[in-house]
């Protein structure tokens, strides 16, 4: 314990958050108590409250970490391709990889982002997560806008509704494929990846410009 006291506060917070993440993934957030986290991390409950106000603060940190990873994945996807379809395909690939590597974070990213910062208390991490989410939205809007300008995508699409819809459909499809993998294989005779590719193609075709160039 003496050694621990000499470690920076950030080290303790990271250690506790890491343990909490494992417990949340195993048991769920609501079924995991601060007592559970303290015992698993090797701290007393009183010491745990020195580093975190409550369980919600730990969750906010994990969500923020999740959003940073996702933003990095999507940013990388957009920087390494030139055509609209290639960028779209790589975004789909990176989102799928993200869900494979961080399934708990992926679900948290969909469920736990606060949007009201005026009428209630919030943790700084919650606002930062929201801002990163807006950054991701802007990247997707940028992809759509460049696709419209290049003639790859339909000119009648509305940027904000379509970008948010694409985000929701892609995320929902990936989560569905992860949760229903066996069902998809049994009823459709398709692997998860085959099912995903089919869905990704369908979403892209709904916004693609199919008119012949003049």
How far is the C-alpha of 15 from the C-alpha of 11, rounded, in Å? 6
How far is the C-alpha of 148 from the C-alpha of 176, rounded, in Å? 29
| Structural domain spans, the chain | 1-52, 60-207
Q: Does domain 60-207 have CATH number 1.10.357.10?
A: yes
Dihedral of CA atoms 21, 25, 29, 35 in degrees, nearest 10, equals -60
How far is the C-alpha of 190 from the C-alpha of 60, rounded, in Å? 37
Q: Which of 184, 207, 16, 175 is nearest to 109 (CA)?
A: 175
pTM of the model: 0.80
Could you read off the pLDDT tens digit of each residue along the chain, which spans 214 residues?
444 557 788 899 999 999 999 999 899 888 999 999 999 999 999 999 999 999 999 998 998 888 898 899 889 888 877 899 999 999 999 899 989 988 888 887 776 565 666 666 778 888 888 889 889 888 999 999 999 999 999 999 998 899 889 888 999 999 999 999 999 999 999 999 999 999 999 999 999 998 765 5
CATH node for 1-52? 1.10.10.60
């Amino acid at each position: 314990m003496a050694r621990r006291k000499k470690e920076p506060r950030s080290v303790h917070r990271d250690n506790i958050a890491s343990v909490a993440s494992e417990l949340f993934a195993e048991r769920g957030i609501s079924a995991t108590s601060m007592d559970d986290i303290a015992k698993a991390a090797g701290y007393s409950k009183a010491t745990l409250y020195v580093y975190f106000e409550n369980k919600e603060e730990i969750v906010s940190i994990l969500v923020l970490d999740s959003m940073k990873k996702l933003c990095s994945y999507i940013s990388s996807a957009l920087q390494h391709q030139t055509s609209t379809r290639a960028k779209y395909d790589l975004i789909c690939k990176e989102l799928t990889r993200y869900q494979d590597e961080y399934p708990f974070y992926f679900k948290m990213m969909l469920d736990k982002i606060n949007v009201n910062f005026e009428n209630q208390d919030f943790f700084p991490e919650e606002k930062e997560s929201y801002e990163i989410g807006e950054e991701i939205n802007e990247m997707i809007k940028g992809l759509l806008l460049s696709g419209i300008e290049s003639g790859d995508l339909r000119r009648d699409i509305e940027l904000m509704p379509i970008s948010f819809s694409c985000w929701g459909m892609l995320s929902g499809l990936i989560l569905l494929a992860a949760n229903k993998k066996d069902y998809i294989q049994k009823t459709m005779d398709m692997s998860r990846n085959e099912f995903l590719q089919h869905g990704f193609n369908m979403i892209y075709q709904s916004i693609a410009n199919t008119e012949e160039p003049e």
